[in-house]
Amino acid sequence: MGSSYCFGCQIPDWVPLQIGQGTTVKFTRTFDCFSAKDCSYTIYFNGATSKFNAAGVANPDPTNGPGWLVTIDAATTKGQIPGAYRYCERVVNLSTGETYDLTGDSLVSNLVPSPADAPAGAFQTFEEKAIAIIEAALSGDMSNGVQSYHIAGRAVSKYPIDELRKTLGLFKSVVWRQQHPGRLGVSYGVAFPMMEPAVCVPPTWVYVTTIG
């Protein structure tokens, strides 16, 4: 099942942009220039460290065809490493052996981990992991701000505390946006205290007596 369709919906006629690891994927493919009765269809997925493919079967369904029905079983997607997979659709003429590939830089499906099967922490972003590291560095700092020193002739350098704090704040803001898509920041309620009315003070007159 890909993110582009849901349970109980009509089988899509496009390759899903996202595939859940350990789930079954079904879609149909139809081309005006190629007939399912005369040609075979296979889609190939090529990732960074693994690859897999699936063959289509003739699908005469008037709603989802005529063309090919492609089914990728759950065991196949579960056994692949999550990531971006560029795909190629290959059509072969059964009588002449002529082979045609549909390729392109934009033909990419993302295989994403399933929360049901993925280990804990699989969905942590880089920024979330970095926050834990930075906080550990700040809490364990015992150097009183020393940024570099030498031990037995070896130089040791590290980030200044102020830079770590700035980076921590930046990453925390990024993580907040990741966890709250569509929102710019935390909402705060602000209440201003009532201002007491100013007391009108009459002017003070100064009398000066001149003695002649």
Do residues 28 and 82 share a domain?
Answer: yes
Strands (E), the chain: 18-20, 25-29, 39-46, 51-59, 67-72, 83-93, 99-102, 108-112, 148-151, 154-157
User: Percentages helix, strand, coil for the chain, rounded to the nearest 5?
Assistant: 20, 30, 55
- The pair phi, psi for residue 209, each rounded to 5°, is -100, 125
Q: Do the beta carbons of residue 81 and residue 51 sit within 8 Å?
A: no
| Whether residue 105 sits in one domain with residue 132 | no
> 144 lies in a domain?
yes
Q: Would you say residue 157 lies in a domain?
A: yes
Domain co-membership, 90 together with 172: no
CA dihedral (134, 139, 140, 142) in degrees, to 10, reads 120
Count of structural domains, the chain: 2
Q: Tell me, yes or no, whether 10 lies in a domain.
A: no
Query: Is residue 26 domain-shared with residue 63, that is, in the same domain?
Result: yes
In a domain, 156, yes or no: yes
Task: Specify if 206 maps to a domain.
Answer: no
Last residue of a domain, which of 53, 78, 112? Answer: 112
Is 189 part of any domain?
no
- pLDDT of the residue at 189: 74
Q: How far apart are the C-alpha atoms of 100 and 80, rounded to whole Å?
A: 26
Residue 145 within any structural domain of the chain: yes
102 in the same domain as 22:
yes
Residue 79 shares a structural domain with residue 135 = no
- Residue 89 is predicted with a pLDDT of 96
Q: What is the pLDDT of residue 60?
A: 80
In a domain, 107, yes or no: yes
In terms of domains, do 108 and 130 share one? no
Q: Looking at the structure, tell me whether residues 68 and 131 fall in a common domain.
A: no
Same domain, 56 and 95: yes
Domain boundary among 56, 85, 112: 112
Question: Domain residues for 166?
Answer: 126-179
> Do 70 and 25 share a structural domain?
yes
Please tell me whether residues 70 and 148 are part of one structural domain.
no
Task: Examine the fold and report which residue of 112, 134, 169 is the final residue of a domain before the chain moves on.
Answer: 112
User: Do 98 and 134 sit in the same domain of this protein?
Assistant: no
pLDDT at 176: 86
Give me the CATH number covering residue 23.
Answer: 2.60.40.10
User: pLDDT tens digits for the chain (212 residues)?
Assistant: 444 445 546 789 999 999 999 999 999 999 988 989 899 999 999 999 999 999 999 988 766 668 999 999 999 999 899 999 999 999 999 999 999 999 888 899 999 988 887 788 878 888 998 898 888 888 776 555 555 555 556 765 666 788 888 888 888 988 888 888 777 766 767 777 777 766 666 666 555 566 65
